[in-house]
Amino acid sequence: MTEPKPEASRRDFLKTTGTVAAVSALSGVTIPAVHAAENNLIQVALVGCGGRGTGAASNALSVKDGPIKLVAMADVFKDRLDDSYENIKKAHSDKLDVPEDRKFIGFDAYKKAVDCLKPGDVVIFATPPAFRWVHFGYAIQKGINTFMEKPVTVDGPSTRKMLLLGEEAKKKNLKVAVGLMCRHCEAREELLKRIKDGQIGDIIMLRAYRQTGPVGSALTEAKPDGISELLYQIKRFHGFLWASGGCYSDFLIHNIDECCWMKEAWPVQANGSGGREYRENYVDQNFDTYSVEYTFGDGAKMFLEGRNIPGCHQEFASYVHGTKGSAVISTNSHTPARCRIYKGQKIAKNDLVWAFPQPEADPYQLEWDHLISAIRKDKIHNEVKRGAEASLVTSMGRMACHTGQTITFEDMLACSHEFAPDVDKLTMESPAPLQVDPNLKHYPWPQPGINRDREY
């Protein structure tokens, strides 16, 4: 699949960065072959047992081209792991082999789960994104193929680490998938082909919307008694920039990525605005509205509108406009996409030129079919660079809104503000990377125009 190509200066950026400890520790490690073993069984470990992790594990166990089993699970919350286990058991009891001694709890649980695997197996990383580079580095060290949820980074420093880790994985022939499943959608693939063939002319504008009510843990109240500050922030990770990049990064990345895919480029800069509306008792770091203008190298624009307010008009879709016509990239949520092309700029039934036939295959399942096929057939499959750059472009728009400044691709990649530099050292007793302001009684909020070079 074609993916956006960053400019040469971006490709060269990593040549001037310092050595990343998480990557340098892997140098000289010899890894055995990483395709499926002779007995053809692929074992899976799940790290991060929330809803998305449980869904990913179910998709993994639904792949049809050979034997596959879930053999280990890890989380920092026992109740979450137990719930996940029971849900997976209902649908895949014959492919579930996770006894009590392969259920691991704690911040080092990911190592114990990975250690249950052998080269050629797969680990799923579906924890809050802040932990992604830490967990991925260990999987590389152990020679384990990886599926990791998006976003894979939350700031500039973690993106630099992830890009270097991606190169290490490539050198060791590891197969790595990133959960931007829209890239595996057959309808979008056909739309891209038609755009490349010139059916809508040159792209001049893209529009993306995720205007819904509050999603996930984006709205978070003050910590209750009975749970540590660190575990509370992990439990409510959408509310905290260090853990997830906030609701902007975790939810808007799909719309951003699918638009950039159609454009076959990453934006070079972003300008944005946003604000907090009716906050009641919520103390998280998110804005309720985000409005971003992304600019590509040729001057084309992408406009992104995000809103997390109940009772308002809702839209969850992406569009592309060209000199000869327009198209729908996604219609309502991620699947089915219902991609369509129109002869003019109006998305009107009478102007319909082409529509992808229904029903569509589920891209959540297709991304797993493609990963497991690559493992079994020992084909190149490494989505790290694309996933890291999609995460960076998403962070670029978020930072533009949170600071009120024009943020370029290079600005974001070079940004020195690392939200959680010691995330690899956290234990159950650690303080949280973010603390409540004792005077204001809430977590640090972005202040556009006041904090201009960092988001909080």
Closest Cα to residue 233, out of 84, 435, 441?
435
Q: What is the pLDDT of residue 7?
A: 43
Q: What is the pLDDT of residue 170?
A: 98
Query: What would the mean pLDDT of 46-62 be, rounded to a whole number?
Result: 98
Give the neighbor-by-neighbor strand order of the sheet with 68-75: 103-105, 68-75, 42-47, 122-125, 145-148, 176-178
In this model, does residue 413 exceed pLDDT 50? yes
Query: What would the mean pLDDT of 430-441 be, rounded to a whole number?
Result: 91
Query: What would the mean pLDDT of 4-30 be, rounded to a whole number?
Result: 43
pTM above 0.85, yes or no: yes
Q: Provide CATH 3.40.50.720 ranges for the chain.
A: 8-182+365-382
Kindly write down the DSSP assignment for every residue of 72-96, as one continuous string: EEEES-HHHHHHHHHHHHHHHGGGB
Classify burial at 12, counting beta carbons within 10 Å of its beta carbon; exposed 0-12, middle 13-18, buried 19 or more. exposed
Closest Cα to residue 213, out of 176, 240, 251, 181?
251
Bridge partners (DSSP) listed for residue 303: 207, 293
Q: Which residue has the higher pLDDT, 82 or 23?
A: 82
Q: What is the pLDDT of residue 36?
A: 52
Q: What is the pLDDT of residue 35?
A: 53
CATH code of 186-360+394-413, in short, is 3.30.360.10
pLDDT tens digits for range 368-382: 999 999 999 999 999
Query: What would the mean pLDDT of 180-194 be, rounded to a whole number?
Result: 98
Place of tokens 């976003």: 151
CA distance 300 to 296: 5
Q: What is the pLDDT of residue 389?
A: 98
Query: Is 8-182+365-382 CATH 3.40.50.720?
Result: yes
Q: How many H helices and E strands in the chain?
A: 14, 15
- Give the single-character DSSP code of 222: P
In this model, does residue 49 exceed pLDDT 60? yes
Query: What would the mean pLDDT of 152-171 be, rounded to a whole number?
Result: 98
In this model, does residue 412 exceed pLDDT 80? yes
Write phi, then psi, for 274 (nearest 5 degrees).
180, 180
pLDDT tens digits for range 78-117: 999 999 999 999 999 999 999 999 999 999 999 999 999 9
Please, which pLDDT band fits residue 219 given cuts at 50, 70 and 90?
A: very high
pLDDT tens digits for range 242-295: 999 999 999 999 999 999 999 999 999 999 999 998 888 999 999 999 999 999
Q: Which token pair is 53?
A: 């992790």
Closest Cα to residue 121, out of 175, 169, 62?
175
CA distance 445 to 394: 19
Specify whether the CB–CB gap between 399 and 407 falls below 8 A: yes
Q: Provide CATH 3.30.360.10 ranges for the chain.
A: 186-360+394-413
Please, which pLDDT band fits residue 20 given cuts at 50, 70 and 90?
A: very low
pLDDT tens digits for range 345-394: 999 999 999 999 999 999 999 999 999 999 999 999 999 999 999 999 99
Looking at the chain, the whole-number percentage of residues with pLDDT higher than 70 is: 92
In this model, does residue 333 exceed pLDDT 70? yes
Alpha helices in 357-418 (DSSP H): 363-377, 384-403, 409-414
- What is the residue-averaged pLDDT of the chain? 93
CA distance 445 to 456: 6
pLDDT tens digits for range 286-331: 999 999 999 999 999 999 999 999 999 999 999 999 999 999 999 9
Count of other CB atoms within 10 angstroms of residue 386:
22
Measured between alpha carbons, how far is residue 207 from residues 82, 256, 321 in Å?
Answer: 41, 9, 8
In this model, does residue 12 exceed pLDDT 80? no
Query: What would the mean pLDDT of 120-145 be, rounded to a whole number?
Result: 98
Q: What is the pLDDT of residue 8?
A: 40
Q: Which token pair is 189?
A: 């693939």
